[in-house]
Amino acid sequence: MGTTNFPMNFVNRLGIPLIESASVTVNTDNVVISLANRSFRWLNQKGTILFRLNQPIPTTGDALPVVFEVNGFTQPVTLVGNTNAVGTDFPGVGVYFLYYDKDCNIMQLLNS
């Protein structure tokens, strides 16, 4: 929670960072969107990011949960209500808006 003087936390003071996909892989369990090494290293503990999907998700991944992968670590992408985002939530190559919280392991798609 914020301090008693401020009812909110201030995030993204230096602007909204942009992270891009390096590759997309569909396997039997999920859709893996790989990101460049150290993509989240310099980000604050929580905030928003713009995510550019550079490769389309194959239709074989339409119903599978989406995870981000970076440096061997995977993070599920969720929607509001804590349901898993699936391939159809990323309808094509383009820019998406996400909220992240490193402490709570949240990567939430805000638009689709």
- Residue range 1-20, pLDDT digits in tens: 444 555 555 665 677 888 99
Q: Judge whether 1 lies within some domain.
A: no
Per the listing, tokens 């150290």 go with: 38
Q: Judge whether 61 lies within some domain.
A: yes
Residue ranges making up the domain that contains 72:
18-109
Higher pLDDT, residue 40 or 46 = 46
Q: Judge whether 68 lies within some domain.
A: yes
Number of domains in the chain: 1
The Cα 4–Cα 22 span in angstroms is: 42
Q: Judge whether 11 lies within some domain.
A: no
pLDDT value for 101: 94
Per the listing, tokens 């939430």 go with: 108
pLDDT 10s digits, 17-38: 889 999 999 999 999 999 988 8
The Cα 19–Cα 39 span in angstroms is: 7
Q: Judge whether 60 lies within some domain.
A: yes
pTM (two decimals): 0.85
Q: Judge whether 88 lies within some domain.
A: yes
The Cα 11–Cα 8 span in angstroms is: 9
